[in-house]
Amino acid sequence: MAGLSGAARARSASPGSPPALDGSFLFSPLGGLMGAQAVLGLLVWSLIAATTYHLHAAYGWVMFVSLFFWILTLLFFVTYLLQLHEKFYMIPWPLVLMIYNAVATVLYITAFVTCAAAVQPTSWRQWDYNRRAAASFFACVTMITYGVSTFFSFRTWKGLGSNAATSQVTDHA
């Protein structure tokens, strides 16, 4: 959004116009973190899916959390990439994103702990052990990225880190 004039921004956000691709979003902290979350979440659920997870109830929870948040992260990623969040301006997107990231962080903590506790090094299937251990590692890294996203989302929601030129000033006179 930083390089668009007011008219171009209004044109891209008007209700009748087609979605516009925001290339600068990919290089923003939010875009980078969402991309990392999508890749890491994909690794978690694909590593669990490649094992006999259906025989162990603990991995069902890990599979649910990782797949659920992977799909939602992709939806948010596409929403911001195509600037659809500007078309639905009545939704408080910074607040929604902060709550989403906070919930994802908490549930990924439970998924990571569950996955790590369920890995048994005495497994007779070495390939199952390696994939489950790798899934546990990537669940931890994914949890950290959601935590960092929660921090940045909170700062965006509260308006911290903005300067005088970009903040909204209200006149109380």
Q: What burial class does residue 37 get, using C-beta atoms within 10 Å of its C-beta: 0-12 exposed, 13-18 middle, 19+ buried?
A: buried
What pLDDT, in 10s, does the model give residues 114-132?
A: 999 988 776 666 677 888 8
Structure tokens that stand for 163 in this block: 């300067």
What pLDDT, in 10s, does the model give residues 3-38?
A: 444 444 444 455 566 777 878 888 889 899 999 999
Q: What burial class does residue 47 get, using C-beta atoms within 10 Å of its C-beta: 0-12 exposed, 13-18 middle, 19+ buried?
A: buried
What does the pLDDT average to over 151-170? 69
pLDDT over 50 at 171, yes or no: no
What pLDDT, in 10s, does the model give residues 54-73?
A: 777 888 999 999 999 999 99
